[in-house]
Amino acid sequence: MPRSDLPLDQLPGYRCSTPEPDDFDAFWDATLAENDHPLDVRVQPVETGLSLVDVHDLTFAGYGGAPIRAWYTVPAGATGPLPTVVTFHGFSGGRGLPHLVHPWPLAGWAHLSMDTRGQGWSTGGIEATPDPDLGSGVAAGSGLMVAGVDDPHTYYYRRVYVDAVRALQAAATLEHVDADRIIATGGSQGGGLTIAAAALAAKVGLPLRGAMPDVPFLCDFRRSVDMAANGPYPQIENFLKGWRGRSTQVFGTLNYFDGVHLARRAACPALFSAAVLDDVCPPSTVFAAYAEWPAEKQIEVYDFNGHEGGTGYQSRRQLAWAAERFAA
């Protein structure tokens, strides 16, 4: 695979050149205030045939009060309070089927796996989480990356980012969860949501033990659209190819959702990962967000990998890193 981004030795020095909006904090403070409604957490046990974990179907009220689905899994018979990992998924993915267990409950921790509204088609499962607001505006039918992109108040990811931080808040209320020991994680889109959720958690006063964004998406939009050959970013390019002259408006909206700007607001330790041959989330854009993270941080770099990143190697690293944070 050609190395189209910066060489590895130049990646740590890269910085995003796009300034954040003057009203960035005001926008997100108002968004969170508008969505300060009851979490309405509902939990029902699910029969999976597994004897080592207990799985529950969980629903909470996300952006606008819309019900967001998740799997909530704990070691069988656990009484808690337990360290907890909250997972966000890659673009097109979702919580999937309840018997497909992540490693976190096998490590003795609680785990919440959140659906992404309006997605889930690549993983399937029992019941998808819809987005009641999809399909409106001139961007309808062009793809989720430009759904509602006319205005930051109507953009698709405004709803998803609020869902993500409310998933952390919902986890903190659960019987088996130690609310002082929660870590957020996810890969690709899930990595971008991890950055956003950590930043917004700091705004609502929810302490996290850590964040683990893998090859995160939704960072340094301008450069990502210019460089990404595959994945969802080309949806933005294709939209602007047809809607000529609208790039200032579109990138003005996207700037409110850039993981580079959100990373500056995070307050917890972080373990990032980047892949040098990634043509979906260019590694320079990952380093751009990493550079702005103000708290303790580490990054694992996979020199000869694409968007798959470290896969099982990174999972092993995360298990060790999370155990250290939980024990602190």
Dist CA 258 CA 251 (whole Å)? 10
CA torsion, points 162, 164, 170, 175, in degrees to nearest 10? -170
List the structure tokens of 237.
Answer: 């390019």
224 is catalytic: no
Catalytic one of 113, 188, 273, 284 = 188
Dist CA 209 CA 236 (whole Å)? 34
Beta strands at 110-114 and 210-214: parallel, antiparallel or unpaired = unpaired
The residues, ordered by sequence, that sit 6+ positions from 106 with a Cβ below 8 Å of its Cβ are 52, 53, 75
Catalytic one of 5, 115, 163, 278 = 278
188 is catalytic: yes
Dist CA 224 CA 283 (whole Å)? 9
Chain centre distance of CA 33: 21
Dist CA 200 CA 224 (whole Å)? 23
Asked if residue 259 lies in contact with residue 218, where contact means CB atoms within 8 angstroms, the answer is yes
Asked if residue 125 lies in contact with residue 95, where contact means CB atoms within 8 angstroms, the answer is yes
Which strand (E) or helix (H) includes residue 112?
Answer: strand 110-114
In the chain, DSSP finds a helix count (H) and a strand count (E) of 9, 9
List the structure tokens of 274.
Answer: 């980047």
314: how many CB neighbours lie within 10 A of its CB?
Answer: 22
242: how many CB neighbours lie within 10 A of its CB?
Answer: 8
278 is catalytic: yes
Q: Phi/psi zone of residue 317: left (φ > 0), alpha (ψ -120 to 50 degrees), beta?
A: alpha
Catalytic one of 56, 89, 261, 307 = 307
Catalytic residues: 188, 278, 307
